[in-house]
Structure formats: structure tokens, C-alpha cells
Chains A and B, each alone.
Chain A
Amino acid sequence: KAGVTQTPRYLIKTRGQQVTLSCSPISGHRSVSWYQQTPGQGLQFLFEYFSETQRNKGNFPGRFSGRQFSNSRSEMNVSTLELGDSALYLCASSLSPGQGIYEQYFGPGTRLTVT
């Protein structure tokens, strides 16, 4: 079974631009979560989607948004990029909501650099 895939793997953008990252979950997984990882803040939860609905959001500004499609694939968008948005963005999929009943499987991440 193929794992979680994320595209692109690396991205360089300029301040003020916007970016869209894509995540394809493991086949059959309907829950997708997004995380930001930086050296200073560690792994931080962005949002979680299940059946095309955002069920929870972390403490990030409205510039960070996401969506999930009917095939469970998900995208996240960051508008008006700032230097501090440079990070590794990770996507994780899980079988179902489950409050932790099911484990999450992470993709390799997208490394975003904002200059």
C-alpha cells in the first residue's frame, strides 16, 4: 500500500506570495491533518479534515487555510507569505476520526523556504 505523498517536496517563495501544498493520504484513510515544523516551535498542529469538513484548527492566523476533496486528498494554502512561514509542512492521514483510536501516518513533508 502506498504511503502518504506530499507535493512538492521543496519550494522557494518570496514574501507576499501565496503557496498551495498537496497531500494524498493512504488509500482508505479519510482523516488528514496538517502540521508545521520549525526548529524554534517544534511540531504544531494546523488543522484536521475528515469527510471534507474541517473539524479543528490550531492557533494559526487566517492566512493558513485548507480543504479536503471527496477523494480525501487535501490541500493547504498560505497567503501573503512571511519569512516566518519557512518550515517543514507535514501531512498525516488516519483511518477515521477516532480520538486517537487509530494511528497517524505521516508524509515526508514539504520544505517551504520564504525569501
Chain B
Amino acid sequence: DAKTTQPNSMESNEEEPVHLPCNHSTISGTDYIHWYRQLPSQGPEYVIHGLTSNVNNRMASLAIAEDRKSSTLILHRATLRDAAVYYCISYNTGGFKTIFGAGTRLFVKA
């Protein structure tokens, strides 16, 4: 199963951009990269996903390296509500199971 590696924690100032990195060096060519976040006392929430090209949605942007061994989740303007644990997942094609890493705890300072 493809593994992902993320920093344990990161800190950002409110209204500044945040770049959350993820390493997935064992990813195969058809595995999608997903990002979820989990706020305290809630279930994980979908953020964004992609395969090869960079992706944008109302919540964030996903930048995928050309070799697909790493990706970066970009929050364009962090708010206090963005303080959460962010999980990067690479889906094992055909495995039909999701492997979550430890995630990155994002702290946002006012």
C-alpha cells in the first residue's frame, strides 16, 4: 500500500497562505491523491483530490509534483476555522481501502 509522509505539525498566521506538504514516493501511476481534514470532535471532511494535474476548488488548491512523488495542499488565506488535522492519502489502485497517515496538525494564530 502506498504510504504518505507529512510533517507532524505546522503553524500559520491568520489570513496568510499555508502550504501543507505530503510525500508519497511509492505512489503508482494510477493512484489518486486525496486530502481530508478533521476538526476537533468531528469526522474527517473532504478537501480536494487529484491525479496528475493541479486542482482548485472553493476550499483549497492541490499542487502535484511532476513525478507525482509529492504534493502540496494550499490554503490561500488561513482562518481560525482551518485549524485542524490534515490528512494526505494516496489510494492504492484496486485495493479499495484507505490508508490514513498521522496527518499534519495545523495551528492558526490570530
A89 to chain B, nearest CB (A): 10
| B34 interface hit (Cβ, 8 Å) | yes
Partner of B43, one of A97, A100, A106: A106
Contact partners of B53 in chain A: CB under 8 A: none
A102 to chain B, nearest CB (A): 9
| B9 interface hit (Cβ, 8 Å) | no
Are B94 and A33 in contact, with the CB atoms below 8 A? no
Contact partners of B91 in chain A: CB under 8 A: 99-100
- With contacts A100-B93, A101-B32 taken as known, whether A45 is within 8 angstroms of B44 at the C-beta atoms is no
Complex: A59 Cα to B46 Cα, angstroms: 24
Are A90 and B97 in contact, with the CB atoms below 8 A? no
Are A48 and B100 in contact, with the CB atoms below 8 A? no
A99 to chain B, nearest CB (A): 5
Interface size on A, residues (CB 8 A): 26
B101 to chain A, nearest CB (A): 8
Contact partners of A109 in chain B: CB under 8 A: 43
Contact partners of A50 in chain B: CB under 8 A: 96
B97 to chain A, nearest CB (A): 4
Are A97 and B46 in contact, with the CB atoms below 8 A? no
Chain A residue with the shortest CB-CB distance to B45: A106
| B31 interface hit (Cβ, 8 Å) | yes
Are A97 and B96 in contact, with the CB atoms below 8 A? yes
**Taking beta carbons and an 8 Å cutoff, which residues of B are in contact with A?**
30-32, 34, 36, 42-46, 49, 87, 90-103
* 25 A-B contact pairs sorted by A residue (CB < 8 Å): A33-B97, A35-B100, A42-B103, A43-B87, A45-B99, A48-B97, A48-B98, A55-B96, A56-B95, A56-B96, A90-B43, A92-B43, A92-B98, A99-B30, A99-B91, A99-B94, A100-B91, A100-B93, A103-B34, A104-B44, A104-B98, A105-B46, A106-B36, A106-B44, A108-B42
